[in-house]
C-alpha cells in the first residue's frame, strides 16, 4: 500500500513529512476527505493513534504518529538521502536542532499564540513568560544563523524542514514584521527556506501575518431571561381572550411588555460646554504642520475646565512590560475597550523607552469634572492605572499636557517606542 498521511491540507506538522518526501523521492499521499475534529475521532483513526492527534502516517507495516518521528521515518526510506547529514557529528547536530525546534520554538510559540487562537486559557502573565522564552530562543537561533545559511552543513537537512515548518506557523499566524525584524538572520533563513522549490511545492505562497490575533475577551455570563421560564397554566392573557370585550386590559398589557426607553447617559444631562469635542478632534486630525502653534494653541483656546477635565494616568505594573509588542498590544486593547467612551473622551497613550521595561503613561480628556463612573464600571483596564487630575493652574502640568498631545520627544528624558491616540 502507499504511504497515507492522515492530516489536514494546511497542517504544519503534516508539511514536515510531505516536504521530506519531496527531498527523498518517496510518495506520500494525504488521506482523502480528511476533516479535523471528525476524521480523527473515528474508531479506525483511534486504533492508529489512541489520543486522536494528527498527523498519523499509515504504512504497510503499521501506523506511526508524532510529526517529527514521521518525518524521520520518511527520510530513512531513502538510504542515500543527505537529509541526515554526511557524518555522525552532522547527524548529532541535526537531531540537536530538531529537538530545539520542538522544545524551544514550537512549544513557546504555542504558549503565546494558542490561547489567542482559542486553544487554551488566555493568561497575560503566562503569555509574557512564553513570549520572553520564545524571544530568547529566537535570539539563540538568530546568532547561529548569522554565520550559517542552513542549520547544519551546506545544504538542506531534516532539521531545516522541521524548523521551517514550526516557524511557518508563527510567521503566518502572529509573528508580524515588527516582531521578526528583531531577528534579521531568522527572517532571511525562513524566506530562503520557504522559497526553495520543494518547500514551495508543499507550502504554496507564504504570507506573513499583518497583526497579532487578539486575545479572547472575557464575556459576562448571560442572565436567564424571564421569558424563557415556563408560563403558568392560569395566564390572565388566556382568560381575557375567552372574554368577549376587554380592549383596555389588552392595551395595558401591551404597554407593559414594550421595552422602556433607554435612560440617557448622565453626561448628556450636563450643562452645555463651550468646548465642542468633535471640533477638537477634527483640529487634531487635520493639523499636519506647525502642530504646537496650531493644534496645541487651539486646544487651550477651546478647553473648558468647567465642562471637561484632564487626567494623567500611569500604568501600575511597568516593571512587567518586558516585551515591546506585548506592551503595545496591552495599550491597543485598552483603547479598544474604551470605545464606549468615544462620544465623551479624547486620549493619548505613550509607550516610553528604547529598551525594556517600557513605561506606559497617558493623558485623557473626559466630559465632566470627574472620570465618568460608567467608564470606571465597564472598562476593567482603568484599575490598572493610577489616575491624577491635571491642575491647569500649574504651568509645568499644563506643559506636560501639551507635550503628550504633541508626542514630544524626548518625553521626560526618554524616547517614545510608540504613541497612540483615542479620538
Q: Which of 156, 175, 203 is the last residue of a domain?
A: 203
161's grid cell: 524542514
Do 161 and 280 lie in one domain? The reply is: no
Q: How many domains does the chain fold into?
A: 2
Give 219-253 pLDDT, tens digit per residue: 444 444 444 444 444 545 444 444 444 444 343 33
Query: Are 153 and 282 part of one and the same domain?
Result: no
Statement to judge: residues 183 and 276 lie in one domain: no
Within 13 A of 91's CA, how many CA atoms are on the CB side?
9
All 3 cell numbers of residue 173?
A: 499566524
Using DSSP's 3-state secondary structure scheme, residue 364 falls into strand
The CA-to-CA distance between both ends of the chain, in Å, stands at 64
Is 51's pLDDT higher than 80? yes
Question: Is the same domain home to 40 and 173?
Answer: yes
Say yes or no: 278 and 191 in one domain. Answer: no
**Based on the number of CB atoms within 10 Å of its own CB, is 151 exposed (0-12), middle (13-18) or buried (19 or more)?**
buried
pLDDT band at 2; cut points 50, 70, 90: confident
From 150, 180, 203, the end of a domain falls on 203
Q: Same domain, yes or no, for 393 and 292?
A: yes
Instruction: Give residue 78's domain range.
Output: 3-203
pLDDT at 1: 57
Read off the DSSP letter of residue 383: G
Residues 199 and 273 in one domain: no
Are both 293 and 193 inside the same structural domain? no
155 within a domain of the structure (yes/no) = yes
Q: Is the pLDDT of residue 261 over 60?
A: no
Which pLDDT does position 320 carry in this prediction?
86
As a whole number of angstroms, the distance between CA 10 and CA 37 comes to 14
Among 46-60, 169-183, 327-341, 381-395, the range scoring the smallest mean pLDDT is 327-341
Q: At 262, is the pLDDT very low, low, confident or very high (cuts 50, 70, 90)?
A: low
Lowest average pLDDT, out of 57-66, 204-213, 294-303, 335-344, goes to: 335-344
User: What φ, ψ does residue 366 adopt, rounded to 5°?
Assistant: -120, 145
Name the DSSP letter for residue 351: E
Instruction: Classify the phi-psi angles of 214: left when phi > 0, otherwise alpha if psi is within -120 to 50, otherwise beta.
Output: beta
257 lies in some domain:
no
Are 330 and 360 in contact by the 8 Å Cβ rule? The answer is yes
More confident residue, 223 or 72: 72
Q: Are residues 53 and 149 in the same domain?
A: yes
Q: Would you say the pTM of this structure is higher than 0.85?
A: no
Q: Is the pLDDT of residue 360 over 80?
A: yes
pLDDT band at 21 (very low <50, low <70, confident <90, very high): very high
Residue 265 has what pLDDT? 85
Sign of CA dihedral 63, 67, 73, 75: positive
More confident residue, 220 or 138: 138
The verdict on 321 and 402 lying in the same domain is yes
Asked if residue 136 is part of any domain, the answer here is yes
CA distance 116 to 135: 18
CATH code where residue 314 lies: 3.30.70.1010
In the listed set 178, 203, 228, which residue is the last one of a domain according to the structure? 203
Distance of CA 240 to the CA centre of its chain: 57
Task: Specify if 234 maps to a domain.
Answer: no
Domain assignment present for 324? yes
> Is 298 among the domain residues?
yes
> Domain check: are 199 and 57 in the same one?
yes
Q: CATH number of the domain that 34 lies in?
A: 1.20.1050.130
Please answer whether residues 333 and 215 qualify as being in contact, where contact means their C-beta atoms are separated by less than 8 angstroms: yes
* pLDDT for residue 403: 96
Residue 253 covered by a domain: no
- Pairing, β 56-59 against β 28-30: unpaired
% residues pLDDT > 90 (the chain): 72
139 and 57 in a single domain? The answer is: yes
- Answer whether residue 250 is part of any domain: no
Query: 165-211, pLDDT tens digit by residue?
Result: 999 999 999 999 999 999 999 999 999 999 999 999 999 999 999 99
Judge whether residue 29 has pLDDT over 90: yes
Amino acid at each position: 500500500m502507499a504511504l497515507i498521511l492522515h492530516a489536514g491540507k494546511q497542517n504544519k506538522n503534516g508539511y514536515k513529512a510531505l516536504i521530506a518526501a519531496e527531498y527523498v523521492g518517496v510518495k506520500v499521499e494525504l488521506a482523502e476527505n480528511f476533516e479535523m475534529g471528525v476524521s480523527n475521532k473515528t474508531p479506525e483513526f483511534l486504533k492508529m493513534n489512541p489520543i486522536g492527534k494528527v498527523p498519523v502516517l499509515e504504512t504497510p507495516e503499521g501506523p506511526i504518529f508524532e510529526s517529527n518521528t514521521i518525518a524521520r521515518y520518511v527520510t530513512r526510506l531513502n538510504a542515500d538521502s543527505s537529509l541526515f547529514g554526511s557524518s555522525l557529528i552532522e547527524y548529532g547536530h541535526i537531531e540537536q536542532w530538531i529537538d530545539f525546534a520542538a522544545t524551544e520554538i514550537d512549544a513557546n510559540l504555542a504558549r503565546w499564540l494558542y490561547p489567542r487562537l482559542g486553544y487554551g486559557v488566555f493568561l497575560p502573565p503566562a503569555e509574557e513568560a512564553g513570549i520572553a522564552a520564545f524571544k530568547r530562543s529566537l535570539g539563540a537561533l538568530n546568532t547561529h544563523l548569522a554565520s550559517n545559511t542552513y542549520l547544519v552543513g551546506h545544504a538542506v537537512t531534516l532539521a531545516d524542514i522541521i524548523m521551517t515548518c514550526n516557524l511557518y506557523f508563527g510567521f503566518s499566524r502572529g509573528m508580524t514584521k515588527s516582531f521578526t525584524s528583531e531577528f534579521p538572520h531568522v527572517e532571511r533563513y525562513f524566506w530562503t527556506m520557504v522559497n526553495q522549490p520543494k518547500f514551495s511545492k508543499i507550502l504554496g505562497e507564504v504570507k506573513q501575518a499583518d497583526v497579532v490575533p487578539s486575545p479572547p475577551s472575557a464575556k459576562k455570563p448571560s442572565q436567564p431571561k424571564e421569558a424563557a421560564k415556563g408560563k403558568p397554566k392560569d395566564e390572565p392573557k388566556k382568560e381575557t381572550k375567552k372574554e368577549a370585550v376587554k380592549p383596555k386590559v389588552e392595551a395595558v398589557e401591551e404597554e407593559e411588555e414594550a421595552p422602556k426607553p433607554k435612560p440617557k447617559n448622565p453626561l448628556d444631562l450636563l450643562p452645555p460646554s463651550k468646548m465642542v469635542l468633535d471640533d477638537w478632534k477634527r483640529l487634531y486630525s487635520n493639523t499636519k504642520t506647525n502642530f504646537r502653534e496650531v493644534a496645541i494653541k487651539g486646544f487651550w483656546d477651546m478647553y473648558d475646565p468647567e465642562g471637561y477635565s484632564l487626567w494623567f494616568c500611569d500604568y501600575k505594573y511597568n516593571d512587567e512590560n518586558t516585551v515591546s509588542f506585548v506592551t503595545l498590544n496591552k495599550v491597543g486593547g485598552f483603547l479598544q475597550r474604551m470605545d464606549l467612551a468615544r462620544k465623551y473622551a479624547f486620549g493619548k497613550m505613550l509607550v516610553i523607552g528604547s529598551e525594556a521595561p517600557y513605561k506606559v503613561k497617558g493623558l485623557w480628556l473626559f466630559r465632566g469634572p470627574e472620570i465618568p463612573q460608567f467608564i470606571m464600571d465597564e472598562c476593567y483596564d482603568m484599575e490598572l492605572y493610577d489616575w491624577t487630575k491635571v491642575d491647569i493652574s500649574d504651568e509645568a502640568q499644563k506643559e506636560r499636557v501639551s507635550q503628550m498631545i504633541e508626542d514630544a520627544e524626548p518625553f521626560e528624558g526618554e524616547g517614545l517606542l510608540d504613541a497612540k491616540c483615542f479620538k
